Amino acid sequence: MKKYDRYKFVKEGITFFIYSNPKDLLKSYFRGTRGNKIAIYHQYEGKKHIYSKEDWLDALHEDGFWAYLRGDVVHLWFDKSADFKDVLGLVAHELGHLEKPYYGFIREEKKACRYSDIAELAYEITERVTINKSLKIN
Ligand SMILES: [Zn+2]
């Protein structure tokens, strides 16, 4: 069975691998590494948390989406029931990592999070002005 669908956006020079399940995504993340644990730096807090592969897989099932960037390829999985806005924010976050300059670690995550925040805000505003016009002030 195919582990992912490949999307290449030639004009943008970006490739996405969309995984059909979180286990394959995680397997690809750990490929080439000898470790069984992953260190996650929680954005803004700067705290380091160590997760085992199993714990991380549970967390992915709970969250319903996750992605990482390797080179210029975005590896992504989302559950079919995931909220559209969350997936949009995730894609924007990874695209944010591709924008220069690349800072690394916590500052880089903050930069990428700004992209997802802006994308999610743009989505909300667009939804309000195009679908729910009742929110108009005057
Ligand atoms: Zn990130």
Kindly give the distance from the C-alpha atom of residue 110 to the centroid of ligand 1, in angstroms, as a whole number: 8
Instruction: Using a cut of 0.85, tell me whether the model's pTM lies above it.
Output: no
DSSP track, the chain: ---EEEEEETTTTEEEEEESSHHHHHHHHHTT---SEEEEE-TTT--EEEEEHHHHHHHHHHH-EEEEEETTEEEEEE-TTS-HHHHHHHHHHHHHHHSSSP--HHHHHHHHHHHHHHHHHHHHHHHHHHT-GGG---
pLDDT for 42 equals: 56
Cα–Cα distance measured from residue 131 to residue 26, given in angstroms and rounded to the nearest whole number: 37
Kindly give the distance from the C-alpha atom of residue 97 to the centroid of ligand 1, in angstroms, as a whole number: 7
Kindly give the distance from the C-alpha atom of residue 3 to the centroid of ligand 1, in angstroms, as a whole number: 22
Residue 45's domain comprises: 4-135
Mean pLDDT of the chain: 85
Kindly give the distance from the C-alpha atom of residue 96 to the centroid of ligand 1, in angstroms, as a whole number: 8
Is 47:41 a contact under the CB 8 Å cutoff?
yes
Kindly give the distance from the C-alpha atom of residue 4 to the centroid of ligand 1, in angstroms, as a whole number: 20
Kindly give the distance from the C-alpha atom of residue 50 to the centroid of ligand 1, in angstroms, as a whole number: 16
Q: pLDDT tens digit string along 30-48?
A: 887 766 666 665 555 556 6
Q: pLDDT tens digit string along 72-81?
A: 899 999 999 9
Kindly give the distance from the C-alpha atom of residue 68 to the centroid of ligand 1, in angstroms, as a whole number: 7
* Domains identified in the chain, total number: 1
Q: pLDDT tens digit string along 96-109?
A: 999 999 897 788 88
Is 65:116 a contact under the CB 8 Å cutoff?
no
Kindly give the distance from the C-alpha atom of residue 136 to the centroid of ligand 1, in angstroms, as a whole number: 35
